Amino acid sequence: MDNDKKGLLFVISGPSGVGKGTICKKLLERRKELKLSVSVTTRAPRPGEIEGVNYFFRSEEQFQDMIARDEFLEYMCVFGKNHYGTPKAYVAEQRAQGNDVILEIDVNGALNVKKRCPDAVMIFIAPPSMETLKKRLVGRGTETEEAVERRFAEAVKELAAAGEYDYIVVNDSLDKAVKDTESILVSERLHVSNNPKLINILKGE
């Protein structure tokens, strides 16, 4: 029996340093039908980051041109400093081909996606404690002290938005957080509302 093939849209967000990137990487290794939307950013690449894999790195001017051409599903000035945006063409193409797409984005951007795509599945990744969040942000070693403080202050506001999401996953043990997130992906795929063709076949239509 044929299954429905329209790809689902999963939005994974939560404060900086909570482990979104780490969880998404593991999910992508485990589920080949999942595609990660690569965002555009005006921030400088970190050591080891690859153009087109981690981000599309663009100048502020190039980013503004993309806004003018209406190329973003959503975009944000994150931490009052750099711009980040989700190119909409890739998301639409992948979903049309039946691939599920993950957006790993900040909380404000996520809430905007929900407005534009009400069928998006919203997953909030929460830290086990604020102390752990700070340790992870510092431990990652990618931010200056000032950037850690800015991201941490933003985190307090972001946590207050968790109630706007469909699911919440606490990233304490990484293995458990990956399994919990994967089970959300699997359940959504099996949900009757995401299988109308199959339901019609079963009805004999």
Q: Contact residues for ligand 5GP (CB under 6 A)?
A: 16, 20, 39, 43, 74, 76, 78, 84-86, 104-106, 109
Residue 16 vs 171, nearer CB to ligand 5GP: 16
Distance (Å, whole) CA 59 – CA 44 = 9
Cβ atoms of 41 and 30 within 8 Å: the answer is no
**Which does residue 31 touch among ligand ADP, ligand 5GP, none (CB within 5 to 8 A, set by kind)?**
none
Closest CA to 96 of 186, 6, 10: 6
The correct pick among 8, 18, 40, 185 for binding ligand ADP (CB under 6 A) is 18
Interface pattern 128-157 for ligand ADP (x via CB under 6 A): --------x--xx-----------------
CB of 19 to ligand ADP, least distance (A): 3
Angstrom distances, CA of residue 72 to CA of 15, 68, 112: 22, 9, 11
Out of 6, 21, 87, 195, point to the residue binding ligand ADP (CB under 6 A).
21
- The encoded tokens of residue 169 equal 């996953």
Compute the least distance from the CB of residue 57 to ligand ADP, in Å.
17
What is the x/- site pattern for ligand ADP, positions 50-69, by CB under 6 A?
Answer: --------------------
Question: Shortest gap between Cβ of 151 and ligand ADP (angstroms)?
Answer: 8
The yes or no reply on residue 189 touching ligand ADP (CB under 6 A) is no
Which of 53, 7, 22, 12 is CA-nearest to residue 142?
Answer: 22
Based on the shown chain and the rule CB under 6 A, indicate whether residue 45 belongs to the binding site for ligand ADP. Answer: no
> 87 contacts which partner out of ligand 5GP, ligand ADP, none, CB within 5 to 8 A by kind?
none
Q: Pick from ligand 5GP, ligand ADP, none: which does 76 bind, CB < 5 to 8 A by kind?
A: ligand 5GP
Measured from the Cβ of residue 180, the count of other Cβ atoms closer than 10 Å reads 18
